[in-house]
Amino acid sequence: MSNKAVLGALSAVLLVAAVIGTVATVASSNHKAASDDSLAASSKSVTAICASTDYTDVCERTLSSAINGSASPKEIIQASFMAAIKEIEAASHLSKNVSLSATDSMNKDGFDICRRLFEDANEELQAAFSETHDLDGLARRTDDIKCWLSAVISYQQTCLDSITQPDLHSTMKDGLVTASQVTSNAIAIVDGLSSLFKNFQVPINVTNIASRRLLSQGSDAKGYPTWFSAHDRKLLAASARGELKPNMVVAQDGSGDYKTINAALNAMPKKYTGRYVIYVKAGIYKENVLVTKDKVNVFMYGDGPRKTVVTGSKNNVDGVQTMNTATFVLCNWHFPAAEGQGFIGKSMGFSNTAGPEKHQAVALRVKGDMSAFFNCRMDAFQDTLYVQAHRQFYRNCVVSGTVDFIFGDSSTILQNCLIVVRRPMDNQQNTVTAHGREEEKEETALVIQNCRIVPDKRLFPDRLKIPSYLGRPWKARSRTIIMESTIGDLIKPEGWLPWDGDQFLNTLYYAEYGNRGPGAGTSGRVNWPGFHVINRQTAQAYTVNSLIQGHRWIKYSGIPYLGGFKN
């Protein structure tokens, strides 16, 4: 057994002891001998808990400096979160100072993006930290906490991507190194605890769970979660019958409550119990919509993805940061993030009409946790669907584009969708995905399951001449899985495209399982160390129930889904 494995086992033993109470916190003492014993015990605890992290030296340094004298394992875990919070605060201060040297509007906007993302990162870290006050809280919400921490790393990378001035980018990159490392370490520590509870089947105290509306409580006799309100039950029943009664109606012709989607969102009450339903009547809505993070529990639906369309044309060539080009932006994340509060979008279209010559031009950007879309369309060219962060699910949707047109650093599954590859500019090649995972410990992946990947009618005549690929690695740990899908003959035999030479080819994770169609053969696929043809057991980790815990929230959205495999 390797030293790292031995230390990892020691960490597990230490934490088990902490959970079941067989080891008490080392008491502080005024006697020098007792004090020395206390320090030694703390040092051993730090070493054991840091063993499973990727940045062990950073972990031991930051935790040791944060702990004075005796410390329980719980306090050490809390210290790992505080280290991440302090580093994000430091990065925020750094960005404010460095932004003063920005000489153009794009980089000034980039630093504004950094400011907003660091605010979000701090909020999510604080939310995660609040769950560490008791081990029950950690055990109940480990999936949520790992998701939030992964989003924090994603935000850091998005900040860096927004700064293009070389000297300023270098300064910010150096300033974010430790922030990324301590956040990664925190994920590793929480993941170790999560595995611990599962392996040792440690019982969890659920006495106070009811007030927090956690889905892990189970369900009632009719199969609804116990926190599910009577209003939500009636809503789902009405949705199934096609009898939804919206809280607001948006209609361009004045027949509704508001003429624009933004006006309806702005009028939404600050406090509302149950799903808030917005019906958007058929029409072309030329507006850039923002669903802010406090707009939780929204269900927005239209008359069909080709009838109710939100459209815009912001783009990178015209001087707009990629993140800000999106026609429809979904940021609703709120703590306490009661499961079931995620956005639901149904029967709507989202479009960016900037065209291929304008390069990055996003139709839909999503970073709201537990977001689900059903029977929707996302149409653009480069960077159509920006799955920025958190857990997302798309079912029976159409996504069209050319270059990297499904991209981001989230845990996203597209299921039973039609993925349409469009004709790019003459000097371009198509890449369906570009996942942006940077750290090994991030709980993120992009999964395409039981979908069809096909050329549109303009590409079809030249589909064998214009190169098209399943994806390329945007970041070092890019992770994309294509499974149980029909892949058309437009996809090149090698399947995947490098980003920049041999960069990331050893660290990425690309996998295929159970695909069909003329483009699904794997004999001619790339021979990169990071590419794999996987079996059913390995693919299980990337199903809806495993990757995004869909059984805990999609089930109650009214959207059909496969929790496991199609076949």
pLDDT at 134: 74
| Sign of the C-alpha dihedral computed for residues 527, 533, 539 and 543 taken in this order | positive
Given this model, what pLDDT does residue 333 score? 67
Residue, of 347 and 226, whose pLDDT is higher: 347
Looking at 401-442, list the stretches that DSSP marks H as alpha helix, in order from N- to C-terminal side.
Answer: none
Q: Mean pLDDT, the chain, as a whole number? A: 86
Helix (H) or strand (E) holding 188: helix 166-200
Q: What is the Cα 215 distance to its own chain's centre?
A: 20
DSSP bridge pairs for 481: 447, 511
The three state secondary structure string of 213-225 is CCHHHCECCCCCE
pLDDT at residue 5 greater than cutoff 50: no
The DSSP-derived string for 5-37 is: HHHHHHHHHHHHHHHHTSSPPPPP-SSHHHHHH
One-letter amino acid of 562: L
Q: How many CB atoms are located within 10 Å of the residue 41 CB?
A: 17
Rounded mean pLDDT, 44-56? 86
pLDDT for the residue numbered 71: 66
Closest-CA residue to 454 (of 420, 494, 491)? 420
Residue-wise pLDDT tens digits, 453-466: 999 999 999 999 99
Query: What's the pLDDT at 381?
Result: 98
Give the rounded percent of residues in the chain with a pLDDT score beyond 70.
80
pLDDT band at residue 406 under the 50/70/90 scheme? very high
Nearest to 138 by CA among 66, 205, 42, 207: 205
For the ranges 75-79, 204-208, 339-343, 372-376, the lowest mean pLDDT is seen at: 204-208
**Weakest-pLDDT range from 88-102, 203-217, 296-310, 488-502:** 203-217
- pLDDT for 391 equals 96
**Which residues belong to the active site?**
404
Take residue 504 and report the two structure tokens written for it.
């990331």
What's the mean pLDDT in 230-243?
A: 55
Rounded to an integer, the average pLDDT of 437-466 is: 97
The residue to which tokens 């306090």 are assigned: 75
Token digits of residue 253: 């012709």
338 vs 421, higher pLDDT? 421
Strand arrangement of the beta sheet that strand 430-435 belongs to:
289-291, 328-330, 364-366, 385-387, 403-408, 430-435, 468-471
| Sheet-wide strand order for 486-487 | 283-286, 308-312, 349-352, 377-379, 398-401, 418-421, 452-455, 486-487
Most confident of 32-41, 190-199, 237-246, 358-367: 358-367
DSSP-assigned states of every residue in 76-137: HHHHHHHHHHHHHHHHHHHHHHHHTT--SHHHHHHHHHHHHHHHHHHHHHHHHHHTTSSHHH
| Longest CA span, the chain | 84
More confident residue, 70 or 413: 413
Among candidates 295, 320, 82, 39, which has minimal Cα distance to 189? 82
Among the ranges 231-240, 268-277, 289-298, 455-464, which has the highest mean pLDDT value? 455-464
Token look-up 């369906």 returns 432
Question: How many angstroms separate the CA atoms of 543 and 25, rounded?
Answer: 40
Position 255 pLDDT exceeds 60:
yes
For the segment 46-55, the average pLDDT, to the nearest whole number, is 88
Q: Range with the lowest mean pLDDT among 77-91, 271-285, 327-341, 354-368?
A: 327-341
Average pLDDT value for residue range 504-515 = 97
Residue 375, CB-side half-sphere exposure with 13 Å CA sphere: 14
- Tens digits of per-residue pLDDT, 207-229? 333 333 333 334 444 444 443 45
pLDDT value for 341 = 65
The confidence score (pLDDT) of residue 448 equals: 98
CA atoms within 13 A on the CB side of 204: 20
pLDDT per position as a tens digit, 93-136:
999 999 999 999 999 999 999 999 999 999 999 988 888 877 77
pLDDT tens string 7-18: 444 444 445 444
Residue of 390, 406, 430, 377 whose CA lies nearest to 481: 406
Distance of CA 38 to the CA centre of its chain: 40
Chain centroid to CA 303? 28
Whole-angstrom distance, CA of residue 457 vs CA of residue 421: 9
Per-residue confidence band for 488, with pLDDT thresholds at 50, 70 and 90: very high
Element (H, E) at 186: helix 166-200
Domains of the chain: residue spans and CATH? 39-208 (1.20.140.40), 247-353+362-367 (no CATH), 402-566 (2.160.20.10)
What's the pLDDT tens digit per position in 124-155? 999 888 888 777 767 778 899 999 999 999 99
This prediction has a pTM of 0.89
Closest CA to 431 of 504, 517, 498: 498
> How far is Cα 193 from Cα 142, in angstroms, rounded to an integer?
8
